[in-house]
């Protein structure tokens, strides 16, 4: 219910996008490939989009722009005013990755990561969906035993615009000679908690009707409020959903002990960041998991793989593009109004893996481009 975007009428010159031969109602996708392996994995995702346009009646116009370090090098800021404006006008935004050692000495507000945080803020994407599921052909890729991981299908609902990443005050102060103090503020308001909890409860109703809310109410005042607000909402509107509370450290343990016990996990910004990365490795590789960052009905969604820019392998054609391709699948479901094609993409990834397609992170030897080709070929079979 948090996925319907407005359809805008835009003229699409045939010379600019040859698959669309006439003007009409089309969706718009903004691609911000970013840094490191971002351009490589986005290129493979766009190959998938091109096949869907050519053979499956997907009508979408694509714009490419810079973000992160690439944007800083181009115009001195990690998020330009043009990109900020455009991101609010399209239907979906795909981000590859941001960051790298090249920009480690840039001031914090100009670092690549600041551009992504500002983009999320500008797009008001307070709902972050991070699924963690294990494709059957990859049960042996996980560090956990196959009988523990087989059939895993959970999803994190992470609050994305509040908490310690955005709280004020924050900074580093010198308090005496040779002594500094670094501080960040973890802060949440009742409305912020209510809106993300409501999204999680709604999603739980569409799945197995089970929700685990994660906090640290035993040591954090923000956690006390978080738990109280979730409980009130549960009692008042969602009593039919089975609700469990869990401390974040226990959740981390349970993710590696028995991950299949979870269905929907509700978290704040910080815990969601950490725990979803742990869940990604449970499935076998960070290169496997997509994410969607959503706002209210009628606003565009932001889609990105959960992995970083991996500068150590950037430009070597080694990165796994699956997470980015699956992010396109999520965009098709939540913003581009083609859930049928979203399923087609997921099925194609599964078929490619079943045929033995593996990049190095999955124990194979395929290049980024080879994996993209395997999935593109599988789209025809999945159809």
Return the DSSP state at 290. Answer: E
DSSP one-letter string for 22-77: S-EEEEEEEEEEESTTHHHHHHHHHHHHHHHHHHS---EEEEEE--THHHHHHHSS
105 classed as catalytic: no
* Separation of alpha carbons 247 and 145, rounded Å: 25
| Catalytic site residue from 27, 91, 188, 216 | 216
Can 370 be counted among the known catalytic residues? no
Residue among 231, 277, 347, 370 flagged as catalytic: 277
Residues 6 or more apart whose CB falls under 8 angstroms from that of 254 comprise: 246, 261, 262
Give me the residue label for tokens 């396109």: 328
- From the candidates 2, 165, 238, 303, give the one annotated as an active-site residue: 165
Q: Is 361 a catalytic residue?
A: no
> Does residue 216 carry a catalytic annotation?
yes
Q: Tell me if 90 sits within 8 A of 121, measured CB to CB.
A: no
SS3 336: coil
Which three-class secondary structure state does DSSP give residue 9?
strand
**Which one of 91, 268, 273, 346 is the catalytic residue?**
273
Q: What are phi and psi of 308, to 5 degrees?
A: -90, -160
Distance CA 34, CA 309 (A): 8
287 token code pair = 């290169």
The answer to whether the CB of 296 falls within 8 A of the CB of 4 is no
**Whole-angstrom Cα distance, residue 49 to residue 31?**
12
DSSP SS3 for 147: helix
The answer to whether residue 22 is catalytic is no
Ramachandran assignment for 128, one of left (phi > 0), alpha (psi -120 to 50 degrees), beta (any other):
beta
- Tokens encoding 112: 């690549």
Q: At 304, give phi and psi (nearest 5°).
A: -160, 150
Which residues have a catalytic role annotated? 165, 216, 249, 273, 277
């Amino acid at each position: 219910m948090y996925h319907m975007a407005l359809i805008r009428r835009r003229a699409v010159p045939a010379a600019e996008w040859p698959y669309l031969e006439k003007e009409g109602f089309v969706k718009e996708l903004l691609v911000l490939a970013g840094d490191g392996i971002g351009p490589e994995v986005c290129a493979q995702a766009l190959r998938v989009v091109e096949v869907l346009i050519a053979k499956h009646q997907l009508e979408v116009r694509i714009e490419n722009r810079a973000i992160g370090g690439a944007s800083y090098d181009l115009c001195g800021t990690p998020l330009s005013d043009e990109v900020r404006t455009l991101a609010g006008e399209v239907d979906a935004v795909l981000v590859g990755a941001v960051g790298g050692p090249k920009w480690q000495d840039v001031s914090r507000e100009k670092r690549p990561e600041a551009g992504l945080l500002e983009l999320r803020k500008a797009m008001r994407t307070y709902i972050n969906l991070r699924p963690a599921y294990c494709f059957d052909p990859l049960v042996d890729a996980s560090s956990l035993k196959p009988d523990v991981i087989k059939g895993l299908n959970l999803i994190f609902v992470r609050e994305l615009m509040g908490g310690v990443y955005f709280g004020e005050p924050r900074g580093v102060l010198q308090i005496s000679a040779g002594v500094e103090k670094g501080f960040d503020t973890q802060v949440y308001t009742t409305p912020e908690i209510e809106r993300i909890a409501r999204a999680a409860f709604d999603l739980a109703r569409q799945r197995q009707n089970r929700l685990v809310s994660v906090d640290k109410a035993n040591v954090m005042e923000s956690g006390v409020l978080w738990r109280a607000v979730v409980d009130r909402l549960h009692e008042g509107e969602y009593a039919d959903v089975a609700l469990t509370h869990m401390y974040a450290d226990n959740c981390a343990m349970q993710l590696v002990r028995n991950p299949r016990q979870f269905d929907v996990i509700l978290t704040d910004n910080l815990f969601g960041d950490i725990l979803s990365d742990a869940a990604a490795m449970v499935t076998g590789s960070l290169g496997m998991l997509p994410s969607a960052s959503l706002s209210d009905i009628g606003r565009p969604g932001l889609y990105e793989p959960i992995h970083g820019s991996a500068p150590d392998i950037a430009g070597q054609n080694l990165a796994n593009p699956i997470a980015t391709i699956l992010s396109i699948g999520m965009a098709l479901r939540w913003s581009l109004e083609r859930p049928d094609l979203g399923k087609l993409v997921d099925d194609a990834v599964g078929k490619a893996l079943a045929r033995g397609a593996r990049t190095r992170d999955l124990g194979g030897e395929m290049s980024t481009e080879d994996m993209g080709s395997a999935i593109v070929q599988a789209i025809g079979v999945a159809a």
